[in-house]
Each structure stands twice: as structure tokens, then as C-alpha cells.
Amino acid sequence: MPKRSAARAILTGGLIAGTLDITYACVFFGIRNHVSPIRILQSVARGALGQNAFQGGLKSAALGLFFHFLIALIAATVYFLLSRALRFMVTYAILSGILYGACVYFFMYGIVMRVSAIHSTTLPWSYPWQVLIPNLLIHIFGIGLPIALAVRRYSK
């Protein structure tokens, strides 16, 4: 049985979620929109730099990768902290992870992308289904579940 550890729970969940999500983004949008991984990472940096992110080359791509994993680690931290008060999030980690992943999707697309330098006006449910469904699924199975399972593993 693994040792109880907040740091391990957060790092494991956040790094797995971040890796799965960025891999999905590079494959899905690479195929769908013919976009390079560098451009995808620059689009993450766009949240802070605006359109200038696309002129920054590898530096803005590296910044995008940093922000991407920072957000994943913040998502894992939030789940961990919530699970301290709401113990069912540990006991029912699969269901909680599914719900949390959906919440992360709606938070990212409904709030973060609106208040960032991206200034998206598209509502989270307004994307074409060919984009909405895969994006929602990666947030559920690639972000919410790994974070929930990592927290459960290191909470017992």
C-alpha cells in the first residue's frame, strides 16, 4: 500500500493528467486542423501573451507547456483539497473523477478562456459536437479520472 502523501497525490495526478491532455491535443488538433505541436503549445501560451504567443517560437511554446502543466497541477491540488473535506471523493473516486473532469472542462472553456488573453466568446457547449465530445471525454477520462485515482491511491 502506498504511503499517504499529498505531494505524491498531486504530482502523480497532475503530471498524468497534463501528459494525457497535451498528447490528446497534439494528436487530435494535429490531425483535425493540421497544426504542429509547437503551435498547439503556443496556443496555450496565448492565454497569457495573446496573439504575440504565435511569434515567440520555441520560447512561447515552452511557456505554453509550463502553463499547461501548471494548470493540471492546480486541478489536482483543487481535487485533493476538496477530497479532504468531501471524503466521498476518495471513496467514490471513479464517479467523482468523472464529474470533476466534466467540471474542469466547463471551468476551462466557460471561464478561463473568457478571462484570459484569448477572450473566447464561445460557450463550452456551443462547439461543434465533433470537437465538444472528444474535448469533454479527455477532460473526464484524461484529467478527472487520473487525478481522482491518484488522490485515492495516496489517501489510504
Reported as a single tens digit per residue, the pLDDT across 20-40 is 999 999 999 999 999 999 999
Is the pLDDT score of 93 beyond 80?
yes
**Domain residue ranges in the chain:** 6-153
Q: What is the per-residue pLDDT across 97-109, written as a single tens digit (0 to 9) for each? A: 999 999 999 999 9
Is the pLDDT score of 5 beyond 80?
yes
Please return the burial class of 102, using the count of CB atoms within 10 Å of its CB with bins 0-12, 13-18 and 19+.
Answer: middle
Nearest to 60 by CA among 50, 70, 71: 50
Q: How confident is the model at residue 41 (pLDDT cuts 50, 70, 90)?
A: very high
Contacts of 115 (CB under 8 A, 6+ apart): none
Give the per-residue pLDDT at 1. 53
**R_g over Cα of the chain:** 16
What is the share, in percent, of the chain residues with pLDDT greater than 70? 99
User: Cα(50)–Cα(48) distance, rounded to whole angstroms?
Assistant: 6
Is the pLDDT score of 141 beyond 90?
yes
User: Cα(78)–Cα(97) distance, rounded to whole angstroms?
Assistant: 12
Is the pLDDT score of 120 beyond 90?
no
- What DSSP string runs through 63-122? HHHHHHHHHHHHHHHHHHHHHHH-THHHHTHHHHHHHHHHHHHHHIIIIIHHHSTT----
Half-sphere exposure of 92 (CA within 13 A, CB side): 7
